[in-house]
Each structure stands twice: as C-alpha cells, then as structure tokens.
Amino acid sequence: MARQREFDEDKVLDAIRDVFWEHGYEGTSYANIMAATGLQKGSLYAAFGDKRALYQKAIARYDAQIVSGAVKMLRNENLSPHIRIKNLMNGPVEAAGTREGRKGCLLCNAAIDQAASDKETENSVTLSINRLKDAIRFAVNDAAKAEHILAAYFGARVLVKAGMGKSTLEIIRNQTLLSL
C-alpha cells in the first residue's frame, strides 16, 4: 500500500543504543545519532519519536539484550552458583582497559546520569536492576549476599569507567567469589 522502509530497524536501534551507551543522554546529539544510523532526522522522528524516546528505546534494548543475557546465565541451574557469579564478575574484568569495555554498563551509566532527574529513566533502570538482582539472588540463594554482589558488580563497572586495569578487577571478582 505504501513505500517501505529502507533501513533495518534492528540495526538502527542497535546503533542508537551504542551511541547513548558510549556518550550518555546529554552527551549525545542528533548529529551523532544521524551519523551512527545513517538516517535523517525526519526518519528518526517518524519512526521512533523524540530524543527522550530514543533514549528509552536504547535502555529497553539494552535490557532485552544484555541484561536478559545475564539473567538467563544466572538462572541456568546447569552451572554452579560459583561459576555463575564468576561469569557475571568477568564482565568488568574483560571490559577493563579496552575502548569498547569502557562504554561500561548502560544501566549503570543511565542510573548515574539520568535516573535522579528523569522519572521514566528511573523506572526503567529500577526495573532492570531488580531483574538482575533477583537473578543473582536465585543463583546464590541469599537475598543479602545478592545485594552485596550487585553493588560490587556496579562498583566494578564504575572502576572500569575510571580507567582501572584488569588486575584490579580480577581482585574484585575473586574477592566477590570468596564471599559465597
């Protein structure tokens, strides 16, 4: 009945997710998004809405892809609790020092730079964090330990952003495993 889209919506949303992931909400301009997606403003607005909506979609996508991946792993009973937490804490270890890794965790980034000032972001971030926390609790079967592991995980992500090296992150991972 009408002209069809020329772009691959999944690829475009991935690109949008990546831009916000790396530069944050305020740090990302339309020029960045247009460059990353190859689309013009008009198409972006027509397809996804305004900047805030794009940011929300980026977070939702991160949740559906990255957080869900972690949750699935943490709930995999074929793996020992120890190995599941080790896998979780290996994320920051592998991220340390690399360009890609220093994008950090979008959840953590959004919490710091938007959650306190934007209710909608606060809601999405809270939901995702709780999903992750529940999965950790499922893995370690201890609510208090789960909170502590979650904190260590986010702290590790902050330290990677700050530029700390792999060896520091390995220590944090190992120390986290000792608490199990």
Partner DNA sequence: AACATACTTGACTAATTGGTCAAGAATAAT
Partner DNA sequence: ATTATTCTTGACCAATTAGTCAAGTATGTT
Binding site for DNA (CB under 7 A): 1-7, 28-31, 39-43, 45-47, 50-52
Residue 6 touches which member of DNA, a copy of itself, none, C-beta under 5-8 Å by kind: DNA
85 binding partner (options a copy of itself, DNA, none; Cβ < 5 to 8 Å by kind): none
x-marked contacts with a copy of itself along 14-53 as a string, rule CB under 8 A: ---------xx-xx--------------------------
Give me Rg for the CA atoms of the chain. Answer: 18
Site string for a copy of itself, 117-136 (x = CB under 8 A): x----x--xx--x-------
Task: Name the residue nearer to DNA (CB basis): 55 or 154.
Answer: 55
The CA distance from 52 to 47, in Å, is 13
**Which region, judged by CB under 8 A, interacts with a copy of itself, from 3-11, 46-54, 64-72, 115-123?**
115-123
Rounded CA-CA distance 3/6 in Å is 9
Q: Which entry of a copy of itself, DNA, none binds 174, CB below 5 to 8 A by partner kind?
A: a copy of itself
Question: Which three-class secondary structure state does DSSP give residue 17?
Answer: helix
Q: Which residue's entry shows tokens 């979008």? A: 106
Report the interhelical angle of 81-95 vs 119-140 (nearest 10°). Answer: 140
For DNA, the closer of residues 117 and 141 by Cβ is 117
Closest separation between CB of residue 78 and DNA, Å? 43
Q: Quick check: 180 binds a copy of itself (CB under 8 A)?
A: no
Listed in sequence order, the residues at least 6 apart from 13 whose beta carbon sits closer than 8 Å to its beta carbon are: 48, 57, 58, 61
**172 makes contact with a copy of itself (CB under 8 A):** yes
With residues binned 3-state (H G I as helix, E B as strand, rest as coil), the percentages for the chain, rounded to 5, are: 75, 0, 25
For helices 51-62 and 41-48, what crossing angle results, to 10°? 60
Q: Minimum Å distance from CB 21 to DNA?
A: 15
